[in-house]
Structure 1
């Protein structure tokens, strides 16, 4: 399966240089509701669940600090995604083959990519009365409905993301915000550069930004263009023999 990851220009360059993708703890997401199902025993302070014992609320708190999520999407040409996660159309997107990247393995992933379709709802999922295992015990073999409530439900507000998730265990140390996964070079199938990529380079007087189109030619590289009549983006193959424009 081919999926896509939006990034800033600096993040894109680091990803391509190091061949890594990042699993982030839900507690560090921009959505404070993410992976925080409703529980009657939740103690809330600014929507951060606080640990006190062995209640479901406590387990949710530990899960949000001990599980990493890789957020992917189906569409590399979503204008809203470019605006929110692609550095205002100045960044990039990588196309990842989930099989080659190891994102379908149920031994290393709690939720593989093929089972990671996010469910958008108007109602927050509840774990009242459920037995939630500790974060270290959660595996891909756990009850599917429970895994969905813990990791795959999001508010309908976020539906434009068309998100696909991969979940796995990460270092539970609170100071660690994310964990990187090394992937083979063959797993990266293409790179998309934003519609304002050339603008970013023109504005880069000190030449601090990476020239991704010059440094990384082992992938298919595409430039995003604005449609002249609609609100759509189009991808055009980039010819490295021609100047970026």
Structure 2
């Protein structure tokens, strides 16, 4: 299964240079509700700690010890390019989930093929669930409980068509993310944003990485605007062009 990761130009350069993908703790996501199921009677505001809930501390610890890799199924989503692809100046990496180890149930608590986000208007609850400690979470835990912990998001985010993979990472509070190596062969294609070459042209100080030349071993596609619709298109691109 091919999955796609939108990145800034700097992030794309690091990904291709090191062949790494980044798992980030949910507490550092741009959505404060992410992976914060209701654990009982919630204190006013966005604080996930709940009054009188045995699960509240476990839920808080899980958000600080589990890393999530956010992916999507569409490399040509204009909103995703605007929000996560540096305003169409970054890139998208096409990753073979199997080759990258994202389907391994021993390594991942949630694998790519089981990581489809469920978009709802109601926040899920883990009240009544017997939550394990974060070090005990595995892919063998109750499926519905894992979904409530990691796979529910507000309907506001449905445009992302998100697929996610979750695994344990360093639980030190100061560690925000962890990078994991994948085989170079797992990266099947690289999409360059519709404004990628414009950004390079306007980079008078030469600070931006020229990934199409510095990583020419990869298969590149160049995105462009359709002349008749609001859609993005792509075409194969050779770095020698």
TM-score in terms of structure 1 length: 0.95
Gaps in structure 1 of 5+ consecutive residues: none
SS in 2 for 1:48: coil
Report the equivalent of 2:193.
Answer: 194
Q: Which residue of 2 aligns with 1:103?
A: 102
Query: Once the two structures are superposed, what CA deviation does each residue of 1:173-202 show, in whole Å capped at 9, x if it has no partner?
Result: 110000111001000000000000011101
User: RMSD over aligned Cα, in angstroms?
Assistant: 1.4
Match of 1:71 in 2: 70
Report if aligned partners of 2:27, 2:64 keep a CA contact under 8 Å in 1: yes
Q: C-alpha separation between the residues in 2 aligned to 1:48 and 1:232?
A: 39
Q: Which runs of 4+ in 1 moved over 3 A?
A: 41-44, 50-54
Change (3 A) 1:185 1:54: same
Deviations 1:95-154 (A, max 9, x none): 000110000000010001010000000110011111111111110000000000000000
Q: What is the CA distance between 1:203 and its match in structure 2?
A: 1.2
* CA distance in structure 1 between the aligned counterparts of 2:214 and 2:162, rounded to whole angstroms: 29
C-alpha displacement of 1:239 = 2.2
Distance in 2 of aligned mates of 1:50 and 1:56? 9
Which residue of structure 2 lines up, in the alignment, with residue 37 of structure 1?
A: 37
Q: Does 1:209 align with 2:212?
A: no
Question: CA separation in 2, counterparts of 1:135 and 1:54?
Answer: 17
What SS class does the counterpart of residue 167 from structure 2 fall into? strand
> Match of 1:160, SS?
helix
**Paired residues of 1:77 and 1:234 also in contact (CA < 8 A):** yes
Checking the alignment, whether the CA contact within 8 Å between 1:41 and 1:55 is kept in structure 2 is no
Distance in 1 between residues matched to 2:225 and 2:94, nearest whole Å? 20
Consecutive unaligned residues of structure 2, counting only runs of 5 or more, are none
Write the distance in 2 (CA, Å) between the matches of 1:30 and 1:56.
23
The residue matched to 1:198 in structure 2 has which SS?
helix
**SS of residue matched to 1:208:** coil
1:24-54: CA deviations, max 9, x gaps? 000000000000001224445x513349998
Aligned to 2:158: 159
Equivalent in the alignment of 2:17 = 17
1:7, 1:85 within 8 Å by CA — same for their partners in 2? yes
- TM-score by length of structure 2 reads 0.97
Query: Secondary structure at 2:38's aligned position in 1?
Result: coil
Q: 1:28 matched to which residue of 2?
A: 28
Deviates more, 1:148-157 or 1:48-57: 48-57
Number of aligned residue pairs: 241
Q: In 1, are the aligned partners of 2:39 and 2:53 still within 8 Å (CA)?
A: no
Asked if 2 retains the 8 angstrom alpha-carbon contact of 1:50 and 1:61, the reply is yes
SS at 1:166 equivalent: strand
Q: What per-residue deviation string (whole Å, max 9, x for no partner) do you get for residues 146-166 of structure 1? A: 000000000000000000000
